[in-house]
Amino acid sequence: MLVTCAGVVHPGYVEDLPDAVLERDMAIDYFGTLWCIRAALPSMLERSSGTILCISSFAGLMGVFGMAAYTPPKYAVRGLCETLRTELKPRGIHVASVYPTDVDTPGLAAEIPQHPPSRTRCRARSSRSARGRRRRDPGRHRARRKRIYPGGWNWFLGRLANGAPWVADRIADRAVAKAATRSGRGRPPAGPS
């Protein structure tokens, strides 16, 4: 079994992020995953068995405000897993991807102070919404699923982003518009015309 969990986060507005940061995040988050898979794959193919589990992110399911350097590589990891799943399943290799939201790590602690003000407001709102939600039993992930959404709230959001993206977009757009207006980075609401 191979588990990949390559990831760095550099939050910020897209116009403020240096090109080098965008390139580095893609190199680490996407290519770090790809190169690990390519290193482990020959022995799995030789045995005609194995499991590849890639940690993507909820950001791999839908755009996340203030994460222009982080979200595209996580979408790329998602695309890689979807492609490899179809390519490797007939050869006896199971490929799955995991879509967690924020995970309490030293990396997250270092990331949060760098969030743009609007991102901080959106994150606080989603954290309040997620509190008190029933968590899914981790034992339910034993099945050979291709997409894993840890936590009950995350499972719901993941299904919504995949099955009804227009609804997820509308919810996200409202939260971002409120946060952006309060932080001074958004347009004020249009008046009567």
Catalytic residues: 56, 70, 74
Structure tokens at 186: 């958004």
- One-character DSSP codes across the chain: -EEE-------B-GGGS-HHHHHHHHIIIIIHHHHHHHHHHHHHHHHT-EEEEEE--GGGTS--TTBTTTHHHHHHHHHHHHHHHHHHGGGTEEEEEE------SHHHHHHGGGS-HHHHHHHHHHHHHHTTPPPPPGGGGGS--SEE--SHHHHHHHHHHHH-HHHHHHHHHHHHHHHHHHHT-SPPPP---
What does the alpha-carbon distance between residue 102 and residue 138 come to, in Å, rounded to a whole number?
Answer: 17
Strand duo 147-148 + 93-98: pairing: parallel
